[in-house]
Amino acid sequence: MAYDKFTVLQSTAVPLPIENVDTDQIIPARFLKATERKGFGDNLFRDWRYNNDDTPKQDFVLNNPIYSGKILVGGKNFGSGSSREHAAWAIYDYGFRCVISSFFADIFKGNSLNIGILPVTVSEAFLDKIFKAIEADPKTELEVNLPEQKVTILATGESEGFDINGYKKHNLMNGFDDIDYLQDMKTEIAAFAEKSIY
Amino acid sequence: MSTNPTTLFDKVWDAHVVRKIEDGPDVLFIDRHFIHEVTSPVAFLGIENRGIGVMYPQRTFATADHNTPTINQHLPVADPLSAKQLAALSSNAEKYGISIWALGSPKNGIVHVVGPENGITQPGMTIVCGDSHTSTHGAFGSIAFGIGTSEVEMVLSSQCIMQPKPKKMRITVNGKLGKGVLPKDVALYIIAQITASGATGYFVEYAGEVFENMTMEGRMTVCNMSIESGARGGMIAPDETTFNYIKGREKAPKGEDWDKALAYWKTLKTDADAQFDSELSFNGADIEPQITYGTNPGLGTGITRKIPKASEVKDGEASYKKSLAYMDFREDENIIGKKIDYVFLGSCTNGRIEDFRAFASIVKGKKKADNITAWLVPGSHIVEAQIKEEGILDILTEAGFELRQPGCSACLAMNDDKIPAGKYAVSTSNRNFEGRQGPGARTLLASPYVAAAVAVTGVVTDPRELIEEEAAV
Ligand code: SF4
């Protein structure tokens, strides 16, 4: 599945200062029954977002109109739990292109990169600054600059660098994915498979 | 010849690197790929849309498990969405020539139960599946981990995935386990010590007497839970226990192939001076039966302990309070004696024959407590058949329990087996996240012994009390 290229993103952000946000919260299992990748955004954070009777929970951040944007800012250990890529699909489908946290679960991070969401790991101190800035002014804009590997709080100019490997960076900036890469390697793979004892 | 000491993990990983990408991931060849109905349909769609086929269908195995009913499996699946997913799995398997154990097949069951059970899982392999508990297969000394749907598509179309090599951690547990302590307790204990994110970024090797003395099923339980400490996976060096388990199973190598494989498998261990990025060790004697009280698997403790105060846990205070509020538990309360509504015995963590034997050993001659609804769900049809053969079903029936049909069931509650909102369930599965077992459901993770003790008393009970009774008879 191709995705939009990612270079520089300037946007307001939605704060979710909770630790250990797991993939069962991002998209509960009962919404995994689709056989197509469509409409997952509607059920993003379903049980935090809606009451049992499907009325919105007023105190949840996605239901608060003062917060919006293409960046989701989450607490430490974001995306723990299941390997369901549906969690990343739901975040993408809802309209986010970037998630910022001080710590990501491995599988979630890999899934995000594979579908065109940029997971940005910042220090706890900088994450705290971002949360405070948004709390003080929900219209605070952040700039996520992939070529320069830097996040900036635009109002104050404070910024921090982030890591990403060169290969993934190149992919995201060009909208390529691993499947394209592996298709080009098939002869090499077949030669390798020849030697396999299994 | 280089004599660089290496770890078991390095040996297996390095033997599977097709290409190293500079400043990028490794291209890793995958020996075995398991698929199920939930995380594969979109991957097959992707393959279709790109017009690329399945490269090595004989290396992929399909089973239906996540979304299957656990009663009346002979009837058509009632939920149309579930039925559609199951049909998609079957038709994709047929179209691409992939072996499938569909609903109703005598080999059907939870993916991480049927793989080892049929000898598909072997030492030294790389094994992936679109389910995070693929780490289970690490019990055989293979590198096994969960992947997302894009990666399922990669493996189908190229038999490879792209992964940066994780860091290595060794967790050593020496000493002897106390009475009533099962492999699940060892796993929950480790996670409680290191937290739900303590091993993120690492691949774990479990070493020491406790694991050397464990059965294969016990090792599978431990490796299964690796992901709950954030680890990519966990593995245990193969030994005689491993080889004896595999020998003679349907897909295990035979004759000369067996000898050749065995000679290789025997080389799969960590060299004496090999370096890990992190080393932890615990004492088996310190581990008592465990139970969780919060909403991540790291929030667990010895069953006789109190629920910790916010100041004593490593999770942030706000998250911890939210967790206790969800469970309607309070700091400094006893867990023993808490009233429970549901007991779930099953899942790829504890749905194997030894788990049913353990459960039966406690409920034998007793009666199910009236306030308990018990769902006992075998991990596979083979386990189910064994339960019947060994007379375990009779013990369970006499004690007032029923057996359901195999599947993931209430582990993730995608089918009808949902714990109702607000109810408490003691579960032998692997996750106690908010809503994991049904919207609003409250889960306490524990071993099959603890589940059995709860099932007959109706409240959280230390299983050692009941084992003592047994011994006195
Ligand atoms: S039993 Fe639970 S963890 Fe295991 S494969 Fe099924 S859903 Fe995944």
Query: Hey, what CATH class is B167-238+269-286 in?
Result: alpha beta
Q: Check residue B318 and give its pLDDT.
A: 86
Evaluate whether B61 touches B33 at the Cβ level (below 8 Å): yes
CB contact under 8 A, B42 and A37: yes
* pLDDT above 50: residue B472: no
**Mean local confidence (pLDDT), B128-151:** 96
Nearest chain B residue (CA) to A179 = B154
Residues of chain B with CATH 3.40.1060.10: 167-238+269-286
Q: How many CB atoms lie within 10 A of CB B289?
A: 26
Evaluate whether A160 touches A122 at the Cβ level (below 8 Å): yes
CB contact under 8 A, B439 and A47: yes
Q: Check residue B473 and give its pLDDT.
A: 41
Helix (H, G, I), strand (E, B) or coil at B15: coil
Burial tier of A49 (Cβ tally within 10 Å: 0-12, 13-18, 19+): middle
A196 chain-B contacts, CB cut-off 8 A? 29, 31
Evaluate whether B229 touches B194 at the Cβ level (below 8 Å): yes
Q: Check residue A2 and give its pLDDT.
A: 64
Residue among B225, B412, B417, B443 whose CB has most ligand 1 atoms within 8 A, to mutate: B412
Residues of chain B with CATH 3.30.499.10: 8-165, 291-471
Q: How many CB atoms lie within 10 A of CB A2?
A: 13
Share the mean pLDDT of chain B.
95
pLDDT tens digits for range B5-52: 999 999 999 999 999 999 999 999 999 999 999 999 999 999 999 999
Q: What are the boundaries of each domain within chain A?
A: 8-194
Q: Check residue B121 and give its pLDDT.
A: 98
Evaluate whether B135 touches B144 at the Cβ level (below 8 Å): yes
List all residues 6 or more positions away from A102 whose beta carbon is below 8 Å from its beta carbon: A75, A76, A121, A122, A123, A124, A126, A127
Fold (topology level) of A8-194:
Aconitase; domain 4 (3.20.19)
pLDDT tens digits for range B300-343: 999 999 999 999 988 778 889 999 999 999 999 999 999 999 99
B260 chain-A contacts, CB cut-off 8 A? 197
CB contact under 8 A, B148 and A85: yes
Q: Check residue B469 and give its pLDDT.
A: 56
* pLDDT above 90: residue B145: yes
Evaluate whether A46 touches B435 at the Cβ level (below 8 Å): no
| Listed residue (B220, B226, B171, B218) closest to B197, CA to CA | B226
Nearest chain A residue (CA) to B155 = A179
Our answer on whether the CB atom of B411 is closer than 6 Å to any ligand 1 atom is yes
**Mean local confidence (pLDDT), B177-192:** 98
Q: Check residue B292 and give its pLDDT.
A: 98
Quick one: which H or E segment has residue B362?
A: helix B353-363
pLDDT band at B166 (very low <50, low <70, confident <90, very high): very high
Alpha helices in chain A (DSSP H): 23-26, 46-49, 86-94, 106-115, 124-136, 166-174, 178-183, 186-194
Q: Check residue A30 and give its pLDDT.
A: 87
Q: Check residue A82 and give its pLDDT.
A: 84
What percent of chain B stands above pLDDT 90? 93
Secondary structure, 3-state, B283-325: EHHHCCCEEECCCCCCCEEECCCECCCHHHCCCCHHHHHHHHH
Structure tokens at B28: 């890793």
**Mean local confidence (pLDDT), B389-414:** 96
Nearest CA to ligand 1 atom 2: B411
* pLDDT above 70: residue B360: yes
Fold (topology level) of B8-165:
Aconitase; domain 3 (3.30.499)
Ligand 1 nearest-atom number relative to CA B409: 1
Alpha helices in A31-123 (DSSP H): 46-49, 86-94, 106-115
Task: Please tell me the pTM assigned to this model.
Answer: 0.93
CB contact under 8 A, A36 and B42: yes
Our answer on whether the CB atom of B110 is closer than 6 Å to any ligand 1 atom is yes
User: Distance between CA B382 and CA B109 in Å, rounded?
Assistant: 8
| Listed residue (B416, B341, B338) closest to B377, CA to CA | B416
Evaluate whether B351 touches B384 at the Cβ level (below 8 Å): no
User: Distance between CA B350 and CA B429 in Å, rounded?
Assistant: 6
**Mean local confidence (pLDDT), B186-199:** 96
A88 vs B468: which has the higher pLDDT: A88
Q: How many CB atoms lie within 10 A of CB A195?
A: 8
Q: Check residue B178 and give its pLDDT.
A: 96
pLDDT in tens, chain A (198 residues): 568 899 999 999 999 999 999 999 999 988 888 888 888 999 999 999 999 899 999 999 999 999 999 999 999 999 998 889 999 999 999 999 999 999 999 889 999 999 999 999 999 999 999 999 999 999 999 999 999 999 999 999 999 999 999 999 999 999 888 998 999 999 999 999 999 999
Query: Hey, what CATH class is B291-471 in?
Result: alpha beta
